[in-house]
Amino acid sequence: MSNNSKFVEFKSCNHIWAVGSIHSNFKSFESVKKYILENFSTNDKIIFLGNVIGVGESTKETLSSVIDLRFQLMAKFSLLPEDVVFLRGAQEEMFLKLLQLHTAPNPIEILRWMYDHGVDKTIDSYGFDSKELISVSSQGTISINKWISNLKNIVDKNVGHREYFSNLSHAAFPKSKLILFVNRGVDITRPLSAQSDCFWWGYYNFSKLDRPYRTFKKIIRGYESSLLKDNNLENKTVFSLYKGPLDRKKIIAASFSESGKLIDIIESL
């Protein structure tokens, strides 16, 4: 797995498959995975729109299954590493910040906020006790660093997991630059090269965007706030591959042409 670019440009696409937020829902992902394997074609590309992990209880198993899908598609269709893209979502961002907890000025406060947003489930999935880390966080930098180091070692022992977290991109698009793939949103007042963390935290009123963003006529995202009443798939510009709230455990995947035309869509069982 090798892709250190913040932005990925797909070359010579047939269709681009996009998988919305999975949130560690292993069983739901397995049904989507089966459909993709059966319908993927030569010269197709695939992008995971962030939030593969977190919230659900099966982060380790789900991430391993996602990596297995990558291996299968690369082997069967002779894909290059850059043909399978993983975006950074809020869950990946929080977990990576967790691995730096020993540098935080107020670790307990930060940790409790992360747990309120589902990061504790990721820790537990790797066989650790997330509640124990709360206690450790009050014992100082050395204790926190030791605990986090043990967690990192376990993550590294799972094939492809360390590489996954090391190769997360911010956005992707085909050569046409007519369709943009992000986790949650973009700051429409700035170019892609000048974005901050809007990709995974979102941007004010992004869901209501009704005009192209620069050359991009369609923006595909993998998550939107569960506070919204419904998922508007008919939005003229923003197309959300997400069906909240989180407890529905639904995963949506779809394939698109380079111009942004919807080719196929699947919702998990």
Domains defined along the chain, listed by start:
8-88+168-267 (3.60.21.10), 93-156 (no CATH)
Q: Does residue 244 have a pLDDT over 80?
A: no
229 pLDDT above the threshold of 60: no
User: Where do we find the tokens 């204790």?
Assistant: 143
Q: What is the pLDDT of residues 24-83, one digit of tens each?
A: 999 999 999 999 999 999 999 999 999 999 999 999 999 999 999 999 999 999 999 999
Residue 2: which pLDDT band, with cuts at 50, 70 and 90?
A: low
pLDDT classification of 266: cutoffs 50, 70, 90: very high
Nearest CA among 261, 220, 255, 258 for reference residue 38? 255
Residue 245's pLDDT is 62
Residue 96 or 207, more confident = 96
pLDDT score, position 234: 53
Query: Is 90 exceeded by the pLDDT of residue 112?
Result: yes
Q: How confident is the model at residue 1 (pLDDT cuts 50, 70, 90)?
A: low
Give me the pLDDT at residue 205, please.
Answer: 84
More confident residue, 3 or 136: 136
Would you say residue 10 has pLDDT above 60? yes
Q: Could you tell me the two tokens for 174?
A: 């085909």
171's enclosing H/E stretch is strand 171-174
Mean pLDDT on 243-249: 70
Burial 69-101 (b: 16+ CB within 10 A, else e): bbeebeeeeebeebbbbbbbbbbbbbbeebeeb
Q: Which two tokens stand for residue 27?
A: 């069983």
Per-residue pLDDT at 5: 77
Confidence label for 218 from pLDDT (cuts 50, 70 and 90): very high
Q: What is the pLDDT of residues 143-179, one digit of tens each?
A: 999 999 999 999 999 999 999 999 999 999 999 999 9
Indicate if the pLDDT at residue 236 is higher than 80.
Answer: no
Q: Which residue reads 């999975």 in tokens? A: 22
pLDDT value at residue 269: 80
User: pTM score, two decimals?
Assistant: 0.94
Q: How far apart are the first and last CA of the chain?
A: 29
| Amino acid 247: pLDDT | 62
DSSP, collapsed to helix, strand or coil, labels residue 74 as helix
Instruction: Flag whether pLDDT at 4 surpasses 90.
Output: no
Eight-class DSSP state of 64: H
pLDDT for the residue numbered 78: 96
What is the predicted pLDDT for the residue at 12? 86
- Residue 196: the pLDDT is 85
**Residue 94 pLDDT:** 98
3-state SS of the chain: helix, strand, coil percent to 5? 40, 15, 45
Q: For residue 233, is pLDDT > 70?
A: no
